[in-house]
Structure 1
Amino acid sequence: MRFRIIQLICVLFSVVWLSGPVWGQGDPEVEDSLVKVVNTRRFNQELQRTHHPGTLEVNPKISQAPFSGAAATPMISLQQYIKGTAAGLFVKEDNGEPGTEQFMFVRGLTHPVFSKQDLYSMQPVVFVNGAPLAQETGLSYNIQRFDFNRIGPATNPLSILDVNNIAQVELLKSPADLARLGPLAANGALWVTTKNAQSGVRQFNVDTYVGLLQRPAVKTVNAAYENNFRWPFYEKYASDDQKLDYPVYVANSYDPDYYGAADWNDLYYQAKPVYYLGFGLVGGSERANFRFNISDTRSHNFDATGFDRYAVSFGINMLPLKWLTITGNMNAIRTQRERNRNLRDRFAETRFVPDLTNPVSPGATSYQRFLDKYRGSEDQNKTNSFVGYFSAAAQLGALSLKSQLSLDYEEGLRDVFYGKPLMDNTSFISSYFGFNQRATIRNTVDYHFKSDDERHQVTIGAGQTFLTDQSKYDYVLGYNTPNDFIKIKEIRLSGSVYQNAYDIFAYPFTDKIKSALSSLYGSLGYSFRNVVTVNALGRYDGYSGFSKTNRWLLTPVFSSTVNIQELLRKTTPFSTIALKASWGIFGKLITDNRFRIGPQYRVDVGYSDEPVLGSYAGLAALSQTYSAGWIMNTYGWPYSEKLDIGTELGIWKDRLLLGIDYYNNEDKNMIVPVSLPTESGFTYKQVQGMAVRNTGINISITAGILKHPKGLSWVLDANFSTNHNKLTRLPYQLQEIEYPDRKLVVGQPVDAFWVYQNDGMINQPADIPMGPVLQDGSRNPVKFGTLELGVGDAIWKDVNNDGIINARDKVLKGHSMPVYYGGLGNKLTYRNFNLDFLLFYGLGHRLQNQLTAGKLDFINTENSRNITYVKEVTFWQQTFDYNRYPMYNPWSGTIPYRLDQDLFLERADFLKLRYLTLGYDFSKTTLLKSMKLSKALLYVTASNLFTLTPFKGGDPELTDYQGIYSGRSLPIARSYIIGAKLNF
């Protein structure tokens, strides 16, 4: 059997590699007429047909993201490649650490973000050559107390794609574009097409670059700065007893560790090289060809973080019969992450926050002693991925048939060990294995009929899709290994009994979810003289994630176009004038299996500050209150109702293309937690009935402003988007729902901050605001809850004028997501020189400056065991001007420096230069002409050169999913690389 398989592989490779003809040998006439004239042309056309399978298409260039500039940058994820290049898509890159997760949003937020888990349900689906990639579920967050990092390797799943192996990316967002993709694409889709072989082409290519990161300019400080900042508060407000509690590390000016040189940045911001090396091979005959690519990518950032990717890709195309095309593609990827050494991230992993009275000192020598404690520790993060598909397409006259089988499998492994020097004389050990798997079978059939005069055209189509998803993880964590050499928890088999090796006390966790989606659709399209086109599509989708009585959903999509240029004379400068409109309903998938199971309990019977961990005795119990679990008996399909109206204009043979789309998307019947009475035992009840509307405009411009083969050429790509979201409905006809840190109000944005309005400071007793006039004509001083206000307190606006400042006086203000966003890219070419650059911007949004609020509120944060206030070594830098803020009394029970006020709500607008690339192609020079190189490009690229923003505290892009700026993220580093691209 093995011998036969080897024989088959050898025969297949011979067919692909040999340049001579295979089919039709011995009949040159047939070979010349059939293969070279008909098949080669049609084969290449079929392979170049990379646009999406939408029902409405005017000019596919409008939906394509410009990609040439990104291929010469040190970016490592698909999100980074396309950020700022596609109208309607906003990419949130909130951390510069390589390999971390990044999130995308197509046309706004579809529902409120209560936790990081909610982000996964809003991500667009990514298709690679028509194969849908598995999507992350955030399943493991159910056992985590903190959600800023997912357990496991938490590697960005879209970092497996090599930009040098991608031909183009299209953003699909209108109902017509998404109709055939169905519920998978309810949040939009990215259609990625990899580079493909072409018949008659044999080519070897080399891509490589090497570069360095530039250290950011930070103003480091030591305890002297901290003393100058804090002591005025003590002088003005502190009692004698409070002055005795002055932090020792600030008070002792003779301590060289804290009052010495603040040179920690010399170690923290050490730069390492980044590089890429890739090889590609294209070959074959007119009837069969292949493309092979292999690459190695190395990326770094500061704090010794790094990312490695090893990728292999192989694609094959065959034309065994003149009407049959067979294609296949396989991608195997291995990635490894070197994670940061933040205290907060380590404490979240270990679920242990020690006494941090004295922070890490700012001196390089002291900081190095801390880093030395990491010696002997382990933090291995590995992922293995396989993405492949096989498809067969038949063209039998007017009948088109296509069948595709695809598979995406991604597994993650993480092993962690922290020794006793890092863990207060104990040790920590954990092991993680998890995977996401998606298998898809898709079959389509289309029949295209034309009348004799071709004035009338009718297209009838049908399709079937069956998709299965599975996600699973196994996780164990333990403490106090016998010594620092035992770094792996082992389970040994002794006879027929499993024994815990080394008697390591550990907590095991495991979970798995499965789902299946079965879809059928039928479509009908009619075109008159290629002027008016009308399409209709109906879908019937069944999903296992819902209750048995609610698993099937019937949805329609309608679209139409009017090609006005077909009615105009040929002499007009317009090459494209099209009006288009589409409307449709798309079911939305729920990946959490809880909602198909029915009522359940989640009991938090464990340690007070870590409720997920069971008690030491490990006894089962059922005790109020339940943090989660009130699940209804039945849940139906949430769905998205989408409307898109647009126009496309092209001038001078589409040298100037303009696309304008107005959209109105309303996501309905969504699940939202609704508050319950305390006596129920539950905190919230999960209820369907919420609706959120997103409206806006997307504008795309592609312009060949100058076009001279031997002179100056200038191509401009620009996009501009607006988005306004609004909560339109809540269950039970509620008008608002209040949560501990946010509030939902019908008619208001779902990403608005809920804050007090700051009106100044009480400098003297006469400044204390007075409440409403009472019946006897008197007025009482305003209180904060039950607390009386005094000198040094903040003045907050009493919105409801009841004389008491409380949550009822907080207002919804600002947006955490940009209202306006987009990008501007340019490519200039002069003879053999080319210059590319891309600007990316976000406007109209705000952030909550937690970093500044925490530093000003030093009395409450100084000795707190709250992980939010853990001081990293980056604490020792000047990040704000404290003279810009009122000098409140930090001992006040009103907490005047609380985060939830508009004092710390700051503008987050930004304009960034993503990259600037200058290249020169030596292939046409006299020296290299004899080498027959089709490309010999040498280039230099500078990335993230500058950021323009009114925010003074750092990079406003580095906010978390709720718009909070903590200052803990690694910067998106400025880098400089030199690279080469050779084709021969």
Structure 2
Amino acid sequence: MKFNLKTNWKLKSRLMAIMLLSSFGVLQAQKIQTVSGKVTGDGGPLPGVSVIIKDSKGKSAVTDFDGNYQIQAKDTDVLSFSYIGFMTQNAKVNGRTSINVNLKESLNELDNVVVVGYGTQRKKEVTGAVSRVKEEDVAKSATSDLGSALQGLIAGVNVTSSSGDPGAEANVQIRGLSSVLGSNRPLYVVDGIPYDANPNISMNEIETIDVLKDAASAAIYGTRGSAGVILITTKQPKVGIMKVKLDSYYGVQSNYRHMPVPTVEEKLYMEFINKNNQSGTVFGNSWTTIEANPTQLTNNSNFYNVIENDLAPIQSHNLSISGGKDGLSYTINGGYFGQQGSLINSNYERYNVRANTQFNKGNWKITTGLSARNEYTQYSPWGLILDAVKYNPYGNQVTADQTQIDNSNGDANETTRLSYIGAKLQTNDKSFRDYFDGNISAEYSFNKNLKYTVRGAVSYDNSSRFTINPSFIAYDNQGVLIPTQQSKIRNLSSRATKQTLEHILNYNKKFGNHNLGLTAVYSSEQYTYGEFYAEKFDIVDNDITVLNGANGLANAGSGNNQWTQNRMTKFIGTLGRAQYNYKGKYLLSVSARRDGSSKFNQQHFQWFPSASIGWNASDEEWWKPIKGIVSNFKARASRGSTGNSGVADYSYSAGIDLNNDYVLGTGADQNYIQGGIQTAFANKNVKWETSVSTNLGFDFGFLNNKLTLTSDFYVTQKKDMLFPVLLPPTAGGGSGSDVVLNVGDMKNTGIELAMNYRTGKKFKHDLGVNFTKNSNTVTKMSGTNKLLYFDGSTISGQDNDQDKVSALAEGYVAGAFFLMKTDGVVQSSEELIEYQKLDPTAKLGDLRYVDSDGDGKITNDDRRFAGSGTPDFEIGLNYSANFKNFDFSMQWYGSFGAEIINGGKALGYKSSNNKDLIYQWTAQNPTSQVPADRGALHNNYRGWSDYWLEDGTFVRLRNVSLGYTVPNNVVNKLSLTKLRFFVSAQNPLRITKYKGYDPEVGNNGLSTRGIDKGTVPQSSKVTAGLQLEF
């Protein structure tokens, strides 16, 4: 027994010793230690590399500017090093306190994560048509407008300048026209928060842009996804030491050529032959106004020299600060952008700041985003370019600082026109806008598979616009004071607010080779808008610019139309989405969203489903023999529906205009009685416009993905589109009134190709080319009227049916030109006799119209389709190269096949002020193809003619840049981590046959697409700048 006790004691002692030693070993294994090191790539340090501990929460670090990092880790931990453009590398700690890593560059972008709305996906697993643009691509453009920066970068995204004015927003369309009367703008989503308009954020705030082009991808945004979705991720917080970065540039702008204007001698010659053609007047038997004022012969005025602001400055400065530790990180961006316009009295300034923070604690992740922006815009008076087109070269020159007109040595009939121009140059039209956006998101992870996110956001947009048309004095050639444009002060204030609340539930689970992702979303929004204006006439003193500075008639009002009235709009939506893949080879995604909108009277809700599939064929075993050549191949197919709620509020209601006075009674008993006229007719059944889109796509990778090619083919059917239907005058709305009904259908078909090639180590090249072709057809219009001209499509001032050129017509592209075909000029007596059978009033030198319908007369029915302002196809080319410390890049954009109606040329002809008229038909010049000037209202110069039609094809070098990065051994002596200098030019080269100011004439609506009537052109810019970091 004693022996047993001793034996037991010895066994127990030994067992306890073993347990203690084992515990000590475990404790040693679990000891947390500091691990540090350096991350390099391509022989140099890599700043900003993400260092995380795998399978841990919130434990991460970021390398500093020298590539150094430091992190707390256990002996059994695995560190993961990742950086955009490089292959992710893992390293086990294994007791080491120093781990250096050299990352290898990756040409394979398939593992990159893209934003797809309410979540992310590996690019390899995406089944829809999604394209990505990086920060450096848009940052190359010296512009305040995001849309302009996107031009030529993405296949399927059409960007057309609306104006060259500073601060102007470009028109952005994804895969063609989505609506005729509603909005064609894509939905912008910034950090998960939807915006119905361009968010106007600084390029320096952007980290990535993902564009959802097909309906299957955009259907998750339901009612507002029909025009595509642009997902913007701003620069997010990153853990690491504080990093400061400055981006700054300054430059000047210059104008392209303007339309040539005649000299005094040429103008006098044109006036003589004009009179000869109009009344048979011959030399020596005519009287011109200049004979009474011969001193005007020395004027040689050119109004372009007055209105053009050559070498206007443009500048941008941005400062960003980022950093943080485990648990709390931040990124702050602050910037200024300033640009003077290429025309006088135009200016734009923007101050912006954005702060993003992220807090991690246990299973919680809290992110916040705050942004504020202040904008100041000064608008140049409308129509200055058209004034320059008409300006008489021997007329007295009006200057920009002139406050009165003394036309003592000029034409008395011209004094009023000069006073109008002088007053216009003194007009002060400016606006101030204050924006504030705030959002907060709380994410709770129940486990590694399931997480719940609640997100709230609020935005405010306050705007004030002050317009002053000053008092202006003018004397005629007799010294008599004449009436001028009435002076006026007008103030306009508006306020818009928006609240957004979203609940998001995400579940992701891997079951062996099966991967499943489920998403459920509830979203609600409320938007309110209100505006008010007040104006007063007859300014007492131009230096007093408040409303009480005028003592004349006063007006005030709000809600003048459906777009400016006070309103509140509410949206609610629910979404369900399932994503599945097997081994990453066989892909499936389905979703359904149900949206409701207060914009509709009865049919508030509608479902928008979608489905897409994909197959990564290159992952199959039988693909391996050719994998070295064709390294990647994926086939995709999708079909989905989206809606368009971008219509005016209360469009289902009737509208009454009370600003109509009626005269009742006769003689002394006449009285003015306030009355009204119906301007909008009720349609209680107005409903969603719906798009159903089918997409087929193929993704290729060659030579280990050095060369990639993406192709997409799509058909989009637009149904229940809102079209205007003409009503008879007896309906009460007068001539030309209409009612808006869901009676139209439209189809878009297209092809998109995108190719990218990257190669080189010491001398790196990156070449990207994209091709877009979109065809649009109106397939259905209601009633017997299959051709409806847009009221805003007049080209040269006369607002009548013969000057309207753009139309909505069944079987044609929306916004098509329908013009009178011409067949040269009547040049001989034989031709005149034959043509007078169609137009008995015709004379020699007249423009000869074609009797297209064969009824023996020239009428409005002879118009025929003559193209449109929509290009047949577009091409973008982007190239960049790096050699040692030098970098070079350029961006090209080409638009092919669009037509332009040269309204400036038409107006110059009508005003007898275009140099072409020197060579017009006369008896002495009988073979001329320039029709004789017989007055502005003669058929020779009507706007309906294809005589003004020109080829709008152009190729533009959008940007070219050369930079130099100072070597690290020099930069470190300056206590900096990076210093780069660069010079760049925007729009330095343009190739086009168009004879107007600028072939990029999109304007702001379908009715004016392709019509150039005084659009402010794009200017060319030269800038120099620097980037530094510390």
CA distance, structure 2, for counterparts of residue 457 and residue 331 of structure 1: 37
CA distance, structure 1, for counterparts of residue 645 and residue 739 of structure 2: 20
Paired residues in the alignment total 867
CA distance, structure 1, for counterparts of residue 953 and residue 745 of structure 2: 28
Q: Which of 897, 911, 914 is residue 958 of structure 2 equivalent to?
A: 914
Q: CA deviation at 1:589?
A: 0.1
Match of 1:52 in 2: 116
Superposed, 1:195-210 pairs within 5 Å as: 195-210=235-250
Q: Which of 872, 878, 881 is residue 819 of structure 1 equivalent to?
A: 872
RMSD (Å) for aligned C-alpha atoms: 3.8
1:781 aligns with 2:849: no
Name the SS of the counterpart of 2:355 in structure 1. strand
CA distance, structure 1, for counterparts of residue 397 and residue 162 of structure 2: 27
Q: Which of 269, 277, 282 is residue 236 of structure 1 equivalent to?
A: 277
Answer with 1 or 2: which has the greater Rg. 2
Match of 2:731 in 1: 680
Q: Confirm or deny: 8 A CA contact 1:919 1:939 kept in the other structure.
A: yes
Match of 1:460 in 2: 518
Q: Which amino acid aligns with 1:68?
A: E
Match of 1:470 in 2: 528
Q: Structure 1, unaligned stretches of length 5 or more?
A: 1-20, 113-117, 136-156, 348-355, 491-499, 609-615, 772-779, 860-874
Q: Confirm or deny: 8 A CA contact 2:435 2:459 kept in the other structure.
A: yes
Name the SS of the counterpart of 2:676 in structure 1. coil
Q: Which of 303, 320, 337 is residue 297 of structure 1 equivalent to?
A: 337
Q: Which of 484, 490, 500 is residue 424 of structure 1 equivalent to?
A: 484
Return closer, same or farther for 1:531/1:734 CA change in 2, 3 Å cut-off. farther
Percent identity for Structure 1 against Structure 2: 18
Match of 2:289 in 1: 248
Q: CA deviation at 1:695?
A: 0.6
Q: CA deviation at 1:928?
A: 1.7
Q: Which amino acid aligns with 2:722?
A: I
Q: CA deviation at 1:288?
A: 1.2
What is the CA deviation profile of residues 548-607 of structure 1, one whole-angstrom value per residue up to 9, with x for unaligned ones?
Answer: 3x111122101111111110455613343111111111121043123233x343466269
Q: Which of 315, 320, 325 is residue 365 of structure 2 equivalent to?
A: 325
What is the CA deviation profile of residues 710-746 of structure 1, one whole-angstrom value per residue up to 9, with x for unaligned ones?
Answer: x210011221100110011112486444664344332
Q: Which of 442, 445, 467 is residue 505 of structure 2 equivalent to?
A: 445
Q: Which amino acid aligns with 1:558?
A: A
Q: Which amino acid aligns with 1:841?
A: G
Superposed, 1:652-691 pairs within 5 Å as: 652-682=703-733, 683-691=737-745
Superposed, 1:211-360 pairs within 5 Å as: 211-218=251-258, 221-239=262-280, 248=289, 254-256=294-296, 259-260=299-300, 262=302, 265=305, 268-304=308-344, 305-321=346-362, 323-342=363-382
Match of 2:1024 in 1: 978
Q: Which of 195, 205, 216 is residue 165 of structure 1 equivalent to?
A: 205
What is the CA deviation profile of residues 489-513 of structure 1, one whole-angstrom value per residue up to 9, with x for unaligned ones?
Answer: 25xxxxxxxxx99565224334212
Q: Which of 990, 1006, 1013 is residue 947 of structure 1 equivalent to?
A: 990
CA distance, structure 2, for counterparts of residue 891 and residue 373 of structure 1: 28
Superposed, 1:470-489 pairs within 5 Å as: 470-489=528-547
Superposed, 1:16-415 pairs within 5 Å as: 32-33=73-74, 51-53=115-117, 58-59=123-124, 63-112=131-180, 118=181, 121-135=183-197, 158=199, 160-218=200-258, 221-239=262-280, 248=289, 254-256=294-296, 259-260=299-300, 262=302, 265=305, 268-304=308-344, 305-321=346-362, 323-342=363-382, 366=399, 368-369=401-402, 378-395=428-445, 396-415=447-466
CA distance, structure 1, for counterparts of residue 306 and residue 707 of structure 2: 50
Superposed, 1:620-769 pairs within 5 Å as: 620-622=674-676, 626=678, 628-682=679-733, 683-704=737-758, 706-708=759-761, 711-732=762-783, 735-737=786-788, 740=801, 741=804, 742-768=806-832
Q: Which amino acid aligns with 2:547?
A: K
Q: Confirm or deny: 8 A CA contact 2:306 2:399 kept in the other structure.
A: no
Q: Confirm or deny: 8 A CA contact 1:265 1:364 kept in the other structure.
A: no
CA distance, structure 1, for counterparts of residue 71 and residue 907 of structure 2: 79
Name the SS of the counterpart of 1:269 in structure 2. coil
Q: CA deviation at 1:167?
A: 1.3
CA distance, structure 1, for counterparts of residue 994 and residue 507 of structure 2: 57
Name the SS of the counterpart of 1:181 in structure 2. helix
What is the CA deviation profile of residues 629-671 of structure 1, one whole-angstrom value per residue up to 9, with x for unaligned ones?
Answer: 1222221221111111111112244322211111111211011
Q: CA deviation at 1:49?
A: 5.6
Q: Confirm or deny: 8 A CA contact 1:581 1:644 kept in the other structure.
A: yes
Q: Which of 881, 890, 911 is residue 934 of structure 2 equivalent to?
A: 890
What is the CA deviation profile of residues 471-506 of structure 1, one whole-angstrom value per residue up to 9, with x for unaligned ones?
Answer: 32212233113433442225xxxxxxxxx9956522
1:531 aligns with 2:585: yes
Return closer, same or farther for 1:36/1:195 CA change in 2, 3 Å cut-off. farther
Q: CA deviation at 1:193?
A: 1.4
Q: Confirm or deny: 8 A CA contact 2:709 2:756 kept in the other structure.
A: yes
Q: CA deviation at 1:232?
A: 2.0
Q: CA deviation at 1:52?
A: 2.7
Match of 2:893 in 1: 840
The TM-score normalised by the length of structure 1 is 0.81
Q: Confirm or deny: 8 A CA contact 1:110 1:693 kept in the other structure.
A: no
CA distance, structure 1, for counterparts of residue 168 and residue 1016 of structure 2: 11
CA distance, structure 2, for counterparts of residue 372 and residue 677 of structure 1: 43
CA distance, structure 2, for counterparts of residue 446 and residue 34 of structure 1: 33
What is the CA deviation profile of residues 249-306 of structure 1, one whole-angstrom value per residue up to 9, with x for unaligned ones?
Answer: 6x66723377346486277334232222221111110221001111111112223322
Match of 1:581 in 2: 637
Q: Confirm or deny: 8 A CA contact 1:580 1:646 kept in the other structure.
A: yes
CA distance, structure 2, for counterparts of residue 685 and residue 216 of structure 1: 43
Q: Confirm or deny: 8 A CA contact 2:219 2:608 kept in the other structure.
A: no
Q: Confirm or deny: 8 A CA contact 2:778 2:814 kept in the other structure.
A: yes
Name the SS of the counterpart of 1:226 in structure 2. helix
Name the SS of the counterpart of 2:675 in structure 1. coil
Q: Which amino acid aligns with 1:449?
A: K
Q: Structure 2, unaligned stretches of length 5 or more?
A: 1-55, 60-69, 89-111, 404-420, 474-482, 560-564, 664-669, 791-800, 922-927
Q: Confirm or deny: 8 A CA contact 1:942 1:976 kept in the other structure.
A: yes
CA distance, structure 2, for counterparts of residue 235 and residue 229 of structure 1: 10
What is the CA deviation profile of residues 105-162 of structure 1, one whole-angstrom value per residue up to 9, with x for unaligned ones?
Answer: 11112244xxxxx4x7110011111211243xxxxxxxxxxxxxxxxxxxxx54x311
Q: Which amino acid aligns with 1:388?
A: G
- My pick for the range that moved more, 888-897 or 370-379, is 370-379
Q: Which amino acid aligns with 1:715?
A: D
Return closer, same or farther for 1:893/1:970 CA change in 2, 3 Å cut-off. closer
Q: Confirm or deny: 8 A CA contact 1:264 1:367 kept in the other structure.
A: no
Name the SS of the counterpart of 2:115 in structure 1. coil
Return closer, same or farther for 1:812/1:185 CA change in 2, 3 Å cut-off. same
Name the SS of the counterpart of 1:855 in structure 2. helix
Q: Which amino acid aligns with 1:596?
A: Y
Q: Which has the higher contact order (CA 8 A, sep 6+)?
A: 1
Q: Confirm or deny: 8 A CA contact 2:225 2:643 kept in the other structure.
A: no
Q: Which amino acid aligns with 1:415?
A: F
Q: Confirm or deny: 8 A CA contact 1:602 1:629 kept in the other structure.
A: no
